[in-house]
Copies of this chain bind each other. A is one copy, B any other.
Amino acid sequence: MVTLADRRADHIREVLHGREGQSLRIGRLNGALGTGMIKTVGPEGVTLRCSFAEAMPERPRADLLLAMPRPKAMKRLWAPLASLGVGRIILTNAQKVERYYFDSHVLEPAFYAEQLKEGLEQAMDTRMPEVSIHRQLKVLIEDELDTLAPDTFRIMADPSGSTRVTEALQENPHSRILLAVGPEGGWSEYERDLLAKRGFAAVGIGPRILRTDTACIALLAMVHDAARDARKR
């Protein structure tokens, strides 16, 4: 039995209109999904009797390497990323990233953990994405990436890329995919070379320039869609 008295209780009362005896899908953070049977609903809280399945949800197959966007965009992006599904979020500096972006409160673990949880709840997932923040792209790519995201199939979104995500992933022999998304102004030529040397293949989603947050959502959804397809065969 568990008694909730926070926003989850509000959600059960006001959005789900929960009544005694009703069953809800629940999940334990970094644990299993299960069922919660409502025992009582009152102004002081909601009490559930919980039972959990044994297995926890599978880890999403995609990881994201993202040049830190404007804090306002990043703030809005945490929850959608978690809802689309991402195993690891690697935030990095790049030439066209402003330094002050890294001082933003949206990079504080207490802030983004709440946002990520919201996205997980939305998608009925329980696995909190791992997050790391890197101030030096070169060090990240050359020294740290193989440990952070080992044995991944690597693609980078680039306006010059004429290969579609689906095509790129068709021949993917790996179980995990690492998607790199550049800053609003794009990767510099040096950065693109750095990534290409470490195995990132350029993919494109057409001639239109998108805001980082829009591009990230579009690309991550495409990666999952393509991975789902590849698995069917």
Contact = CB atoms under 8 A, between A and B. Distances in A.
A115 to B, nearest CB: 12
A211 B118 CA distance: 11
Chain A contact patch, size range = 20 to 34
A124 B225 contact: no
Interface in A206-233: 206, 208-211, 213-214, 217-219, 221-222, 224-225, 228-229
A164 interface: yes
Contact of A209 (B123, B164, B206, B221): B123
Protomer copies: 2
Contacts of A217: 214, 217-218, 221
Classify the interface of chain A: helix, strand, loop or mixed.
Answer: helix
Contact of A221 (B79, B80, B211, B222): B222
A158 B122 CA distance: 16
A84 interface: yes
A208 B85 contact: yes
A208 B165 contact: no
B83 A166 contact: no
Given A206-B225, A222-B222, A225-B205, A211 B83 contact: yes
A204 to B, nearest CB: 9
A85 B207 CA distance: 11
Given A222-B222, A225-B164, A209 B80 contact: no
A165 B211 CA distance: 23
A125 interface: yes
Contact of A210 (B76, B123, B219, B222): B123
